[in-house]
Structure 1
Amino acid sequence: MNQKLSKKIVMQYNEEFQYIYQRAKTFSDRYIVMHIADNSKFNHKIGFAAGKKLGNAVVRNRIKRVLREIYRKNKKNISINCCILLVGRMASVNTDYTVIEKSFCRLCKRAKIWKDVL
Structure 2
Amino acid sequence: MKKSFRVKKEKEFQKVFHSGSSKANRQFVVYVLAKEDQSHFRVGISVGKKVGNAVMRNSVKRKIRQALLELKPTIQSEIDFIIIARPPTVKLSTEEIKKSLIHVLKLAHVLYEQKQI
TM-score (norm 1): 0.86
Q: Which blocks of at least 5 consecutive residues in structure 2 are unaligned? A: none
Q: Which residue of 1 aligns with 2:111?
A: 114
Give the distance between the partners of 1:62 and 1:48, measured in 2 at CA.
12
Matched, 1:101 2:98: yes
Between stretches 36-45 and 79-88, larger displacement belongs to 36-45
Preserved CA contact (<8 Å) 2:37 2:78: no
**Per residue, is there more helix in 1 or in 2?**
2
Deviation >6 Å, runs of 4+: none
Tell me the equivalent position of 1:64. 61
Inter-CA distance 52–92: structure 2 relative to 1 (3 Å threshold): same
RMSD value over aligned CA atoms? 1.9
Measured in 1, the distance between the counterparts of 2:35 and 2:103 equals 22
2:3 matches 1:16 = no
Task: Specify which of 41, 46, 53 is matched with residue 43 of structure 2.
Answer: 46
TM-score, normalised by the number of residues in structure 2: 0.86
Give 1:41 deviation, angstroms.
9.5
Structure 1 unmatched ranges of 5 or more: none
Count of aligned positions: 113
* Structure-to-structure mapping, 1:73-88, within 5 angstroms: 73-88=70-85
